[in-house]
Amino acid sequence: MTKLSPSAVEKRITIGKVGGPHGIRGDMRIIPLTDFPERFQDMKEVMVGDELLHIEHCAYHKQFVLLRFREYSVREDAMRLTGKLLTISREQAVPLNEGEYYTFDIIGLTVFDPEGNELGVVENVLRTGSNDVYQARRKDGSELLIPALKAVVKVIDVKGGRMVVDMPEETSDAH
């Protein structure tokens, strides 16, 4: 089993979490933490915690993905994986269309208004159904909710670590 250094793990993308065992053959229930759960079907290996594991079998059951790892073919051994995160390298991320961003790229961006005044830092992305909402924290500790709409979000510069928003008047003054 290949182990990664802790610093290498930080740059990885979480795609799932190991739940409990399923059946007697060493299959583990994986809670998908990705917008692309179909990705597991074509994967040959994945990092689980700090171990590189090889996928022998993949199936879908209810809301779970069932994975069997070559290195953990016995149920009792596989149970030790419970609670560990499944991660991939950024290069393995599913390509997005232009104007689409990963949540992990949005979190941490510094938010500015069109005049260049800093409004806060994005801490979370809320999924509301109709459109996402970027949850930012102002310097005074108050919360700023930014609808992820083209009319509001003018620039997302992931490499530059910044977002420019033009907030509607009625919400920009609310604290």
Q: How many CB atoms lie within 10 A of CB 63?
A: 9
Q: Which domain holds residue 149?
A: 103-172
Q: DSSP assignment of 72-88, as one string?
A: B-SHHHHGGGTTPEEEE
Count of domains for the chain: 2
pLDDT at 6: 44
The pTM score is 0.66
DSSP 8-state assignment for residue 37: G
Taking 70 as the pLDDT cut, the residues of the chain under it are 1-10, 169-175
Domain containing residue 73: CATH number: 2.40.30.60
Return the pLDDT at 154: 95
pLDDT value for 10: 53
Residues 108 and 87 in one domain: no
| Same-domain status, 59 and 113 | no
* Tens-place pLDDT, residues 50-88: 999 999 999 999 999 999 999 998 999 999 999 999 999
Q: What pLDDT is stored for residue 171 in this prediction?
A: 46
Enter the DSSP assignment of 100: -
Task: List b or e across 70-108, with b for residues whose CB sees 16 or more CB atoms inside 10 angstroms.
Answer: eebeeeeebeebeebbbbbeeeebeeeeeeeeeeebbee
Contacts of 8 (CB under 8 A, 6+ apart): none
